[in-house]
Every structure is written in structure tokens, then in C-alpha cells.
Amino acid sequence: MSIEFGKPLSVRETPIPGLILLDLPVHGDARGWFKENWQREKMTSAVVGLPDFGPVQNNISFNDAVGTTRGIHAEPWDKFVSVATGRIFGAWVDLREGPTFGAVYTAELDPSTAIFVPRGVGNSYQTLEPDTAYTYLVNDHWSPTATYTFLNLADETAAIDWPIPLDQVEISAKDRDHPRLADVTPMPPKKTLILGANGQVGRALRHVFGDQPSMEYATRADLDLTSPELHSARRWRDYDTIINAAAYTDVDGAETPAGRVDAWATNVTAVAALAQVSVANGITLVHISSDYVFDGSKDSEYTSSDAVSPLGVYGQTKAAGDAVVSVVPRHYILRTSWVVGDGKNFVRTMAALAERGVDPEVVDDQTGRLTLASDIALTIRRLLHSRAPFGIYNVTSIGDPATWYDVAREVFRLTGHDPDRVKPVSTHGYYAASSGPALIRPRNSVLATSELDATWQQRLADYLAQQRS
């Protein structure tokens, strides 16, 4: 066999999305040859662009005779395939749900080539030389509860042009009995799990993502994140994304002995458990954070790179949760402020008071911008679908910052009531009357953002219009 030595590491695209053929540098002389079969830093670089798929197992298939034929098998994991010795004719068929279902790609592989086979793409090969060793890295272990998909090697629709006719080669009885393409159950996409499904952001996420089979919604009653059995509560390798919209948000309650325990359990301990699951299974973790990670002393907008400096227990737990999530290789942290959605919130409260004839006192020394839960959900979808760089994003409306007093006046005006009915009060004065903890709230909650392009006044008007419809 003649191996082409000295090729640069490069990739060749294929008609099947995610199926990538690689040319590997092989160095040889009279003694034999050497190659780097998998080199993580090089192969996941921007030049090559393979996903950092985290292999957990290395398998070798040795084949004695020319014509040995295996496949077509599609498993719920990714594979990095190469030939250690010999030569093969490989055939790959897309068996995933979607528009490329049934697409076929074929190529010859020798030790100077390799191929990355994404989850759900059927893999098969036929040996062209004796004593061929076919090696592959996979990023999951075989499981009896996993979903596997197969296609018959002789399927007429795929119409693979095997170099050696199938009636002249060695094939297992099991491979001969695989179904034709018309009878194949496609490999479903990986799932997305949304936690906190009954909250304002959770409900908005359900509206944006819908109830398709790949979406799963859970409340605390459905999944206990503090359970020591969390790692086995799901087959986590079947999940691509976890969106954590669950949180303890009672700012005042977090200052009580019981509330402090609950806040840390929900906002830190549970988040740490999610982070462990995400790291172990290559899951993207999306986490909703808060302006309360800052103390509000800055005299300008807070950026996503500003150092955290929380005041009260709630802010401390959110900052700790952010730190935990930041160690997950694939993470999005969305910091937001003054969230308004489907549920109890400040805007609904003010609208109800206006309707009932109540003239409220509202604090006029805390500054920020409203954020609609629907905008958070839409931003999450955009980040995921565009595969935006992982990291921290500020998500809130734009426009001139306002106080809660300004927002309340705007609610009264938009609902047809006299905004002068709203009376200003300082944070200290408001909490002096109720004996509440005034000093745990940041005075400046203004976040710098480029994610949204609507002002808080526009989005407030849209929100109130939706409430009336």
C-alpha cells in the first residue's frame, strides 16, 4: 500500500452536515510511518474546526480479509474514524431527522485520512486490503437504553456503489437484516431541557420554543436538582442544552434564616449540580443571572466584564451561581434586570393599583431598564441557533435609564390613568415604613447591552397591549 506522506492537516466538506473528511500528516521513512491520529488542540482550532467532542472510548475493528463489510450503523454519539493499517471504502448515510435524511457520502480511507461522523449519521465500510484495522474514538459508552438506528447495506434509495458486490463479501446476518430507508426510524435530535418552566422566563421560553418532541420542560417537582441521583435522573447524553430559568428570587426573603438556606440551595448548590452534569456530558448550559450581582455604585452602565460586588444574600447567591456556570466549557450567562412576563410582576401590580384607584408610593432612587421575559427567551434562541461565542451577555431593553417611579408613571399613563397619582419615595423611606432591608438593592441596575434594540418604553407599551388583548 502506498501512503501519501507529508500532507498538511486539512479538511474536506461533504454533502452531509457535520460529516468532515480530514487529510492527516503522515511522516514516514524506511522504518515505517507515524501520525498524530487525534490532536485536540490542532483539530479543534479555527483552521480545522472539529467540535471538541470529548471522546471517552477508543475502539478498533480488525478485519482479516478483503471485502469484509460492516454497517450501516448510526448511534447517538459522535465518532472520529481513521484507518490504522490497510485501506477501506467508507459509506456514510444521514439518518437524522431533517432535510438531509438519506444523503450519502462515500470515500476511500487509508492511514493518511480520517473522518468525523456526527451523531445520527450511519457509518459503514468495506475493506479493500487484508489485515485492515479500523479505529474510532467515540464520546459515549454503549447503553441498552440509548436510541440506535440502522440501514440496510443494499438499500436501493441510498444506492451505494460498493467496490465489491455485497453478494461476494462477508456480512453478518444482523447487518443483512437491517431495514430499507423507507422503514428507518430517523435519529431524533438531542433534547433541550428548560428548568423553571412555570416562571416568567420559563413560560416565555415555552412560547418561543414550543412543545416539539425535542423540548422538555421541568419544574422543581419534576426534577430535584439537589438530589445525589441527579447524574442518573436522565440519560444526559441525549441532551444538547439545559436552560436554567429556575431561581430563588425573593430578595427580602433571602435575608431571613430560612430564606438564606433556600437561596443558596437553589441559586448555588443546584446550579453546581447542573454544571457537573453539563461538563460530564458536553451539554451547553444557559443560565439566567441578575443585575443584583453588582452593588449599584458605578456611575455608568455595567458591562458584562465588570467585576461582581453583590450587596445582599440574593445577589451573593446569583454571583456565586455565575462563577460556577463560567467553568462549564459551553455556557451562556444572561444578566438581566427588572424582568416582566407572564406572572406576578411590578408592571401588573401598578396596572392593578391604577384600576382600583390606589395611589402608590414608588421608589425614585433605583435606576435601571425593564426587560420583557419574551425578549430574554428570543435572545436565548438566537444565541443557540447562531452558535454565538460562549460567555456572559447583558440582556435588557435600551433607552434612557429610568427609576421604578418613572416606570410606574408610564404604566399609569399607558393604561389611561393620571400618572401624577404615583408618588415618589426614597428607598430608605419606603423600607422605613415597612421595616424592610433597604440596603440590599443596587441603586444603579443599568446594564450595557447590544442584544436588544427596543426601548423599555416601547416594550412596556407592547406588554400592556398584550395584557389587554
Task: Name the H helices within 116-228.
Answer: 173-176, 200-209
Is the residue at 2 inside a domain?
no
Query: Of the ranges 130-144, 162-176, 375-389, 432-446, which one carries the lowest mean pLDDT score?
Result: 432-446
Q: Kindly state whether residues 90 and 22 are assigned to the same domain.
A: yes
The band of 436, judged by pLDDT with boundaries at 50, 70 and 90, is low
In this predicted structure, the answer to whether residue 469 has a pLDDT above a threshold of 80 is: no
pLDDT for residue 433: 60
Is 41 inside a domain boundary?
A: yes
Residue 4 is assigned to a structural domain of this protein:
no
State residue 143's pLDDT score. 87
Give the Cα separation of 259 and 293 in Å (integer): 18
Residues 163 and 297 in one domain: no
What's the pLDDT score for residue 22? Answer: 95
Residue 5 included in any domain: no
pLDDT band with cut points at 50, 70 and 90 for residue 432: confident
> Last residue of some domain: 162, 183, 204?
183
Q: State the pLDDT at residue 219.
A: 92
Residue 229: Cβ-neighbour burial (10 angstroms; 0-12, 13-18, 19+): exposed
Is the same domain home to 78 and 179?
yes
Q: Residues 131-140: what's their mean pLDDT?
A: 94
> What confidence tier does 68 reach under pLDDT thresholds 50, 70, 90?
very high
Is residue 3 included in any domain, yes or no?
no
Its pTM stands at 0.90
Catalytic residue numbers read 73, 136
Residue 27 CA to residue 259 CA, distance in Å, equals 64
Say if 80 falls within a structural domain: yes
CA-CA distance, 123 to 117, in Å (whole number)? 8
- Determine the Cα–Cα distance for residues 50 and 21; give it in Å rounded to an integer: 10
Check which CATH number belongs to the domain holding 123 and give it. 2.60.120.10
- Is the same domain home to 278 and 142? no
pLDDT-derived band at 116, boundaries 50, 70, 90: very high
Q: What is the pLDDT of residue 435?
A: 54
Tell me the residue length of the chain: 469
The residue out of 183, 200, 226 marking a domain boundary is 183
The domain boundary residue, chosen from 115, 150, 183: 183
Task: Indicate if the pLDDT at residue 4 is higher than 90.
Answer: no
Helix axis angle, 373-386 to 200-209, nearest 10°: 50
If asked whether residues 417 and 271 sit together in one domain, one would say yes
| pLDDT of 41 above 80 | yes
Is residue 98 a part of any domain in this protein? yes
Residues 171 and 277 in one domain: no
Q: Are residues 360 and 441 in the same domain?
A: yes
Shared-domain flag, residues 234 and 375? yes
Q: What is the pLDDT of residues 212-253, one digit of tens each?
A: 999 999 998 999 998 889 998 999 999 999 999 999 999 999
Residues 113 and 205 in one domain: no
Residue 222 structural domain = 191-468
CATH code, 449: 3.40.50.720
Rounded to an integer, the average pLDDT of 172-199 is 95
Of residues 441 and 383, the one with the higher pLDDT is: 383
Share of the chain above pLDDT 70, in %: 98
Domain shared by 175 and 87, yes or no: yes
| pLDDT confidence of residue 30 | 82
Q: 337 lies in a domain?
A: yes
- Mean pLDDT, residues 446-457 taken together: 92
Q: What percent of the chain has pLDDT over 90?
A: 87
Can you tell me whether residue 144 is helix, strand or coil? coil
| Residue 263 Cα distances to 256, 329, 361, angstroms | 10, 25, 28
Q: pLDDT of 23-35, one tens digit each?
A: 999 998 888 889 9
Q: How many domains does the chain have?
A: 2
Q: Are residues 267 and 364 in the same domain?
A: yes
3-class secondary-structure state, position 375: helix
Q: Are residue 157 and residue 220 in the same domain, yes or no?
A: no
